[in-house]
């Protein structure tokens, strides 16, 4: 059985959600952030050199990186579910949005968080540039979701990869999604999924999912 090592309020929620969507049995080990630094506790650093969540273990397997974990679980346990294969007409689209989550969306959110905490004036060119990049990223997602219900056309692991940055990550850096009605409608669809609700209750029972 897989063990999911989950740091509260982190992207490891993706892995719990994925297992719930697949009906895959798992054990869940919860870790709390350091109250001062908000970083991982020593127990996670002892488990994997990066000292970050998510990590999964199963026998001799110790695997980190949420994207790698999602791909591993889908390939090994998905039975063709939640991924689009090479013969599917939307295969390239699925790959694009799957990797967009950690390749663009989450890094841009992170850079905005750091820059906004730097104390720079609002008109600082670097801050303006980073904010502009976030506008582009959110605009791309908005345009896609104005056409389809889910990023790859149907619900897939690309959505599981993306939702954390649009929801829980805003605990650390507030972002107003009011200008993006298609994203907000998408988050309501996500919030209506039983597997998502089960995952959030299991991993972060203290958190009301940020779906608005």
| Angle formed at CA 4 by CA 2 and CA 7, multiple of 5 degrees | 175
Query: Is pLDDT at 15 greater than 80 in this prediction?
Result: yes
Q: Does residue 151 share a domain with residue 121?
A: yes
Are 153 and 97 within one domain? yes
Question: Is position 100 within any domain?
Answer: yes
Does 212 score more than 90 pLDDT?
yes
Residues 63 and 98 in one domain: no
Report the CATH number that the domain containing residue 26 is assigned in CATH: 3.40.30.10
Q: Name which of 174, 164, 201 is nearest 54 in CA terms.
A: 164
What value does the mean pLDDT take over residues 52-59? 95
Domain of 38 in residue numbering reads as 2-82+197-203
pLDDT digits (tens, 9 = 90+) for 125-169: 888 888 999 999 999 999 999 999 999 999 999 999 999 999 999
Residue 189 and residue 110 in one domain: yes
| 117 and 160 together in one domain | yes
- For residues 16 and 106, state if they share a domain: no
Residue 106's pLDDT is what?
A: 96
In the prediction, which pLDDT does 124 show?
Answer: 87
Note the pTM of the prediction, 2 decimals: 0.94
More confident residue, 191 or 112: 191
Residue 212 resides in a domain: no
């Amino acid at each position: 059985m897989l063990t999911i090592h989950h740091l509260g309020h982190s992207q490891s929620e993706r892995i719990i959600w994925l297992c719930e969507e697949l009906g895959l049995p798992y054990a869940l080990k919860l870790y709390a952030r350091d109250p001062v630094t908000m970083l991982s506790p020593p127990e996670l650093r002892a488990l994997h050199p990066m000292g970050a969540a998510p990590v999964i273990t199963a026998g001799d397997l110790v695997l980190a990186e949420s994207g790698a974990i999602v791909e591993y679980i889908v390939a090994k346990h998905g039975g063709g579910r939640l991924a689009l294969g090479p013969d599917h007409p939307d295969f390239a689209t699925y790959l694009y949005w799957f990797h967009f989550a950690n390749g663009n969306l989450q890094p841009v959110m992170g850079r905005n968080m750091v820059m906004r905490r730097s104390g720079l004036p609002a008109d600082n060119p670097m801050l303006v540039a980073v904010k502009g990049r976030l506008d582009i990223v959110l605009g791309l997602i908005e345009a896609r979701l104005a056409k389809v219900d889910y990023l790859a056309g149907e619900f897939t692991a690309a959505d599981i990869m993306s939702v954390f940055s649009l929801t829980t990550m805003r605990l650390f850096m507030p972002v107003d999604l009011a200008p993006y009605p298609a994203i907000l409608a998408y988050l309501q669809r996500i919030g209506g999924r039983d597997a998502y609700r089960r995952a959030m209750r299991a991993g972060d029972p203290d958190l009301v999912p940020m779906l608005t």
